[in-house]
């Protein structure tokens, strides 16, 4: 587990740990939008009445495909997200709550951190004007025009 939080620690005082996010981790995610990068996740954990409060700052550079020419490009990521870890004795349906068993010793935060990175990506990512791979961009735009519109579904 690449980003593991040891739940047996005493979180009465805030505890911060830094984790490096590697190309390998990003590439191992199925259907990943992020092909690689140099990122750091800084996780601060503190005990709170509602559970264990996690503040996760994920920052660095992510490598994604340019929407226009499909060449690799870097985007800056700097995002702060919060999560609450609760034991599974009460269930509320909330996005930012993670349930663990009372006996659970460790928590793998990597799936959540990956989501934070994916959510922080700009909706469209293209190279600055004029910096695309020209040959690819031209070939792709021709290809797109020639594709028939295949929206119709038959039941």
HSE-up (13 A, CA, CB side) for residue 124:
6
**125 in contact with Zn ion (CB under 5 A):** no
Nearer to Zn ion, 50 or 138 (CB): 138
Identify each DSSP E strand in 69-112 by its residue range: 72-87, 97-100, 106-108
3-class DSSP assignment, residue 120: helix
DSSP letter (8 states) at residue 117: H
Q: Is 107 in the site for Zn ion (CB under 5 A)?
A: no
How many whole angstroms separate alpha carbon 31 and alpha carbon 67? 16
> What's 9-24 look like in SS3?
CCCCCCEEEEEEECHH
Decide whether 74 or 115 has the Cβ nearer to Zn ion: 74
144, containing H or E segment: helix 134-146
Identified binder of Zn ion from the candidate list 66, 112, 113, 117, rule CB under 5 A: 66
CB of 107 to Zn ion, least distance (A): 38
Site for Zn ion contains 64 (CB under 5 A):
no
| Among 60-68, 81-89, 94-102, 105-113, the segment contacting Zn ion (CB under 5 A) | 60-68
The binder of Zn ion chosen from 23, 81, 127, 140 (CB under 5 A): 127
Q: How many residues bind Zn ion (CB under 5 A)?
A: 5
- Taking CB under 5 A as the rule, does residue 45 contact Zn ion? no
Residues at the interface with Zn ion (CB under 5 A): 66, 68-69, 127, 132
């Amino acid at each position: 587990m690449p980003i593991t939080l040891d739940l047996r620690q005493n979180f009465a005082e805030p505890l911060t740990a830094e984790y490096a996010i590697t190309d390998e981790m990003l590439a191992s995610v199925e259907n990943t939008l992020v092909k690689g990068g140099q990122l750091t996740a800084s996780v601060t954990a503190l005990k709170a009445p509602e559970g264990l409060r996690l503040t996760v700052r994920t920052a660095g550079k992510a490598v994604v495909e340019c929407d226009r020419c499909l060449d690799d490009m870097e985007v800056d990521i700097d995002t702060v997200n919060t999560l609450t870890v609760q034991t599974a004795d009460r269930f509320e349906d909330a996005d930012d709550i993670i349930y663990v068993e009372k006996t659970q010793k460790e928590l793998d935060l990597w799936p959540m951190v990956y989501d934070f990175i994916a959510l922080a990506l700009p909706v469209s990512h293209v190279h600055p004007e004029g910096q695309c791979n020209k040959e690819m961009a031209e070939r792709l735009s021709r290809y797109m025009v020639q594709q028939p519109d295949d929206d119709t579904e038959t039941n």
